[in-house]
Structure formats: C-alpha cells, structure tokens
Structure 1
Amino acid sequence: MPRQIFQVKVTLADVQPEVWRRVQLPGAYTLDRVHRVVQLAMGWQSFRLHSFEVDGVQYGEPDPDGELALRDELDVRLDAVAHKGTRLLYTYDFGDWWEHDLLVEDVFAAEPDERYPLCLAGERACPPEDVGGAFGYAELLVALRDPAHPRHAELGSWAGGGFESEAFDPGRATTLVRRLT
C-alpha cells in the first residue's frame, strides 16, 4: 500500500491579517513530528509547551507533574486520529496561547519521486516568540507601521529591527521541514 500523504492547512487563530501555511506530510507521522512540522513551517522556535486536541482528546508531551492530562503524542499517528476534513486544534506556548487550526484538506498516495514533508504555500511571517499572544502581536504591528508611535523604536528593536510581517518563503519552510527526514 502506498504511503498516505496528508495535506494540511495550518492557520494561526485570532491574528489579522491571517497567517497560514499549507503543508504535506506523511500520515504515519506521530503527533510529535506533526508538532515539529508546524513549528518549522510557521517559523516558531519550539521553546514552549504545546498540545493537540482532536475530537475532545488532548495529546502532547506527558506532564511529569501530572497537572496536564495529555495522551502521549509519541504514541499517536496522524492517520489514526485524522482523515480528510478533520480539524485539529494545536496550541503552542501556554503563556501567549497561540491557537492554530489544522484542517486536513486532502489525503492521497505519495508521489514516488517527491520528498515529504514540504510546505506548498503560506502567507505572512509568524509572530515573534514572546510577543504577548494575538493582542501583543496586534500592538507590535501597529507600532512598527507608525514611526510616530511612542513604542515604535522600542518594539522595532525588540523584534530584531528587521521583522517583516508580510514576508514568507515556502521554499525556505520546505528546506526546514525536510530536515525532519
């Protein structure tokens, strides 16, 4: 049986204008590998905790303190919990609380000469880590666009001086996600 490939649209919730990616990855990937694909495609650094929710069940890294009731993502393959049309909720950074909608747009047989995973498309740069969630990101965008804003220089420096909110390169994202293979 040929490998099944899942085409997934990853959309960052509560952010305008919309930040999204379209990735293709093997259905045999465990959820921890799906997490890494999302991290690399979006531009996050994987510094923070994360979880998936599928049909009311939460998955993630087991909590050694037992405070979070998460099923171990290492034990669950994408193709075991998802099919075409499935939506997964992926939350990254429990402080900033970045929610992502993962929609399985299609499932198909792998192309024999194609390497997976890959990033087909997307729009806009991912918000910087620790910006303060969707509200903090909106404030950052306002400040960066207005040189007269009282926090323009401070937030521009904090964001590295070269943050371009409209920039996204699917080729670079594909290079990054392919490091998983």
Structure 2
Amino acid sequence: MLKVRRTLVRRTKKFQEGTYLIKVSWRKGVWRKIELAAHHTLEDLHQAIQQVFDFDDDHLYSFFMDNKKWSHASYSSPLDESGPHADQVTLGELALEPGQSFLYLFDYGDEWEFKLKVEGIDPAKPLPLKPRLVAERGAAPEQYPDNEDWDE
C-alpha cells in the first residue's frame, strides 16, 4: 500500500519589522517612493498610492505578489468577493525582500497597472505612523482625462 506523505513545504517566515521603502512606478519616468511600517497593510499601501497619484478610490484593486497580472498569488480589495483581502495582511507578514517586485492593478476595467519594488527594509529606522511620500518624479497620470471625442 502506498502512503502519501506531506510533500508540500509551507514557506514560513517570522514577522519582519522595519521601515519599508516601496517604489511605485506607472511608466518610465513617473514614480513615487513611499515609506511604510511593517504593521501597515496592503490596504494602507493602496490608500497611499491613491493619494500620491491623486486618484479617486472608486474601483476595486489587487496586488499580484508574483508580478503576474490575474495570477492567484494575490490580495484584493476588501470589497472584492474573492480573497484573501489586502486589509488582512501586513507588509511584515509577506516575507518581502529588498529588490522584490510585485504588481498593483487598480480599476479592473481601465486596468491601471503600477509596478512596485521593495527598495529597502530598515529595521533601525523609526517607523512612520502612517504611510508617507518621500520622493517623486514625473507628473501623475489623469485618472479621468478629458476626451474630446467622447459623445455626450
């Protein structure tokens, strides 16, 4: 008789304290750098991205941790029917590493795609109470640009 043993090893890491520096890029030459604490959630990161790019938070979103759009390695908006949800996981729980990239997709219709990169994790730096913008380059895109060809 063949016995099946546990063949999948679950990757577990302890909570990683520190101040996280995340670079959020829209297109070449348009980016923002945001500092967050390990206790901030992906929902907090979503809110920070919305603020620094001057977007209206009026659509669903997902973070794709394997950097592949529509993969199952994702955390979605708390309003999305599918989970897991972005407000239920902190940065410190994600086992992120400096240099790691992942994808943020906002508005499933228009598909605003932002590339995120962990630029650093500093355990000695004072933790920010809330996410904060520390650097930026380029003009933010217009979420709802005027379209002269639009029929009224």
- Quick check: TM above 0.5? yes
Could you tell me whether the CA contact under 8 Å between 1:49 and 1:94 is conserved in 2?
Answer: yes
Give the Cα–Cα distance (whole angstroms) in 1 for the partners of residues 97 and 110 of structure 2. 29
> Which residue of structure 2 lines up, in the alignment, with residue 177 of structure 1?
none
Structure 2: distance between partners of 1:6 and 1:114: 10
Q: Matches of 1:125 and 1:22 in 2, distance apart?
A: 14
- Structure 1 residue runs of 5 or longer lacking an equivalent are 132-139, 141-150, 156-181
Q: Please list the CA deviations of residues 101-146 of structure 1 after superposition, one character each: whole Å capped at 9, or x if unmatched.
A: 1100000035449655221211122211234xxxxxxxx7xxxxxx
Aligned to 2:57: 46
Q: How far is the alpha carbon of 1:5 from its aligned partner? A: 0.5
* Highest RCO, 1 vs 2 (Cα 8 Å, sep ≥ 6): 2
Amino acid at match of 1:10: V
Matched, 1:95 2:106: no
Q: What SS class does the counterpart of residue 108 from structure 2 fall into?
A: coil
Comparing both structures, which one devotes a greater share of its residues to helix? 1
Indicate if the aligned counterparts of 2:76 and 2:84 stay in contact, CA closer than 8 A: yes
- Residue 18 of structure 1, CA deviation: 2.7
**1:58 corresponds to:** 74
Shift, 1:28, TM fit: 1.4
| 8 Å contact kept, 1:63–1:70 | no
Deviation at 1:45, TM superposition (A): 1.6
Q: Alpha carbons of 1:86 and 1:121: their partners in 2 closer, same or farther (altered >3 Å)?
A: same
Kept in 2, the 8 Å contact 1:43–1:125? The answer is: no
Q: Does 1:22 align with 2:33?
A: yes
User: Contact 2:44–2:131 (CA<8 Å) still a contact in 1?
Assistant: no
Structure 2 CA distance for partners of 1:113 and 1:77, relative to 1, 3 Å = closer
> Equivalent residues in 2 for 1:61-72 (5 A)?
61-62=77-78, 66=81, 69-72=82-85
CA distance, structure 2, for counterparts of residue 32 and residue 112 of structure 1: 21
Give the 3 Å change call, closer, same or farther, for CA 112–43 of structure 1 in structure 2.
same
2:43 pairs with 19, 32, 38, which one?
Answer: 32
TM-score, normalization by structure 2? 0.71
Count, aligned residues: 129
Percentage of identical aligned residues: 28
> Relative to 1, partners in 2 of residues 1:111 and 1:90: Cα closer, same or farther, differing over 3 Å?
same
